[in-house]
Chains A and B, each alone.
Chain A
Amino acid sequence: MNIENWEITNKKSNIISKLLEVWNSKDLLFVFVKRDLTTFYKQTLLGPIWFVIQPILSTLVFMFAFGKIAGLQTNDIPKPLYYFSGIILWNYFSDCFIKTSTVFKDNLNLYSKVYFPRLILPLNIILSNLTKFLIQLCVLICITIYYKYQSIIPGIQIQMLLFPLLFILIALFSLGLGLIITSLTTRYRDLSLLINFSVQLLLFSTTAALPMPSNDSIYKEIILLNPMTNYIEAFRILIIGKGYFSYSSFGVSIILTTIILLTGLNLFFKVERNFVDTI
């Protein structure tokens, strides 16, 4: 029989062995994802339709407020498509980020009663939200096909297949940010009060709702510093066929995402060992 040896100390184990441990517990991860999916549908009338209603309503509000009243342009993309694509991607990011940023606090009960690789729960958030996003993506693709046959946009081409790669970047970015916040809030709780508020403000540092400035300006440079701007624009290129892309700012986004993810993982692995004592 294969019997594993183990050791418990206050030494911090390295990131690689931690991630390996997560990989070995992937069974548990899938059980959690399944739990979240099943419990969401139970005792709801419309089930997954709720996933679609909310972004459609937001799109209508944006079309009215930004499009009609403020008269903002949408970079040659039909307004419903522009706002809907921006909103669903932004919502995926903000849902994952906000949920992950309170993962220690929300799951204290579970964490303080049994050990399993702590990172499983943040990963569960990323994966459970994915289903919601995929349903919304289907709706987006339907809208895109409609406009494609009106010959308004190129849309739905072979480059769509690159989307999973882009998606991984977005998932890791929101994971990294969330991990940083949840690790810091075990000590400083007031940080969590800032999150909801600042996520709402952050929306306006991307092109989810606002248009990409056509000429170079300091404002353009600032919003391009936000990785989500680049990811949303790349998303529009892949699905709709129109959007902004520059190698340099996309490259910076990838570097930023990597730094944030590594910082987040490091902090998380540091805090997870003793957070039940302090929270």
Chain B
Amino acid sequence: MSDTAIILDNVSKHYRLGKIGSGKIHEEITNFLKKGNKKNTEKEIVKSLNNVSFEVKKGDSIGLIGRNGAGKSTLLKILSKITTPTFGTIKGQGRIASLLEVGTGFHPELTGKENIFLNGSILGMKTHEIKSNLDEIIEFSGIGKYIDTPVKRYSSGMYVRLAFSVAAHLNSEILIVDEVLAVGDVDFQKKCLNKMGNIKSKNGRTVIFVSHNMNAISALCNKTVLLEKGELVNYGDTDFIVNQYLNKPLQNESIKSRKDRTGNGEIQLLEINFFDIQLQNYISSPISGNNYIIELKIKLNTEVIDFTKVEIALGINDIYGNRISLISNKVSGEPIQILENNSIHIVRISIHKLSLSNGTYSINSFISNNGIINDWLKEAISFTIEKDQFFNQSEFSFNNGMGNFHLNYTYLNNA
């Protein structure tokens, strides 16, 4: 395995639901007595990763992509040795350093310099390595003046710069990076990426990088792994895989079979789809600035429903789970119009000039009748907005300071 950095062989991670922390003596005893009886517990196992195998060559930069719940973070945690795989093995060569967080272990009371030693050691550097790199780290961070000030007095920008400088000077053969690059200012990020890239070309460093940001993946990684529901869908050249990922239909089959619903089930959501305005084509990756129709297919499980009292709402969340916006007929004050077509009921919502900016979003669905919850589903679907044509610009470079929304604004021409 001289040119191989990491080999994953049938790596799986299973979680048992509901069994952890029940904390009651009688349940623990019954569980213990039932141990031989596997059938009982099988249902409650969640396969967060299932038989994932691939091989990483030395010097490769591997992107790891997939929707929420695809198993990316689980795989990162296993690679970082934070948790172990349930089955399977990973073999590798070379020191691993993983960056799952900016400034892990930073202590607010300690000075910048003291934190360099603390953070560097936690990330796996030896004290003499930090000492020999200290001047370079301080210079790279650009906060030399404040290096003997406690970091609790730093601005968040300075804090992040210091943390990144330490990370950029890690000299492990393998580097695992979670989406930590999503914070901090853009110029400094580029500087860090360059620095990491330099190390890569010099020593044949292997990088595994997880991100929702396809631009970053395309810029950084020569190969990409696509995960879905814990399984490896494809592995290959980044351009090809990223394309495949973006053109996947939304995860609709799963809505019908989802069990983690709340509500009495009188009305149930079956599908959510994005269509163009003519209802001709399914849309998998909407473009900011265009018009769309969101179509909901629902099932009625009761005979009589007074639709004037029904609320059908979609809550749009960002990747961190923060609510960005809510689409609801109670907010807009409109009654629900149901189209009945071969016993399938359809609700359509027209979106005028989609104003979400680049990024990945998920939708929570909520259906209630007269204040009683019928069907409430978290993360019913997720989708990614890749292109931004809100202002009819053809060339438009995305950066992180954009936020989630475009206001519909114009610069006035006073002349």
Contact = CB atoms under 8 A, between A and B. Distances in A.
Q: Which 5 A-B pairs have the closest CB atoms?
A: A115-B81, A8-B90, A31-B121, A113-B101, A28-B121
A277 B88 contact: no
Interface of B: 15, 20-21, 23, 77-96, 98, 100-101, 104-105, 107, 109-110, 114, 117-118, 121-124, 126-127, 150, 173
Q: Which of A31, A43, A111 has the most CB of B within 10 A?
A: A31
A32 B120 CA distance: 12
A256 B122 CA distance: 34
Nearest to B101: A113
A116 interface: yes
A30 B82 CA distance: 22
Nearest to A40: B109
Contact of B118 (A5, A35, A43): A35
B84 A276 contact: no
Contacts of B107: 35, 39
Nearest to A114: B104
7 contacts: A6-B91, A8-B84, A32-B118, A114-B98, A115-B80, A273-B83, A274-B84
B14 to A, nearest CB: 10
Interface string A103-146: 00000001111111000000000000000000000000000000
A273 B77 CA distance: 11
A10 B92 contact: no
Interface in A264-279: 273-274, 276-278
Contacts of B80: 114-115
Instruction: Give the interface residue-count category, chain A.
Output: 35 or more
Contact of B89 (A5, A7, A31, A276): A7
Contact of B20 (A30, A39, A187): A187
A38 interface: yes
Contacts of B85: 8-10
Nearest to A12: B84
Given A28-B121, A187-B21, A276-B83, 7 more contacts: A7-B91, A8-B81, A8-B89, A39-B110, A112-B77, A116-B122, A273-B84
Interface string A76-118: 0000000000000000000000000000000000111111100
A28 B81 CA distance: 17
Interface of A: 3-10, 27-28, 30-32, 34-35, 38-39, 42-43, 110-116, 187-190, 273-274, 276-278
A28 B122 CA distance: 7
Given A4-B94, A31-B127, A113-B104, A274 B83 contact: yes
A3 B84 contact: no
Given A110-B105, A113-B82, A277-B83, A27 B126 contact: yes
Given A6-B92, A190-B23, A278-B20, A35 B110 contact: yes
Contact of A31 (B77, B96, B117): B117
A194 to B, nearest CB: 14
A114 B15 contact: no
Given A39-B109, A114-B100, A7 B82 contact: no
Contacts of B123: 114
Nearest to B100: A113
A35 B89 contact: no
Contacts of B90: 7-9
B82 A115 contact: yes
B89 A9 contact: yes
Contacts of A188: 23
Contact of A4 (B79, B95, B110, B127): B95
A189 B28 CA distance: 13
B24 to A, nearest CB: 10
Contacts of A278: 20-21
A115 B104 CA distance: 11
Contacts of B101: 113-114
Contacts of B122: 28, 31, 110, 114, 116
B78 A8 contact: yes
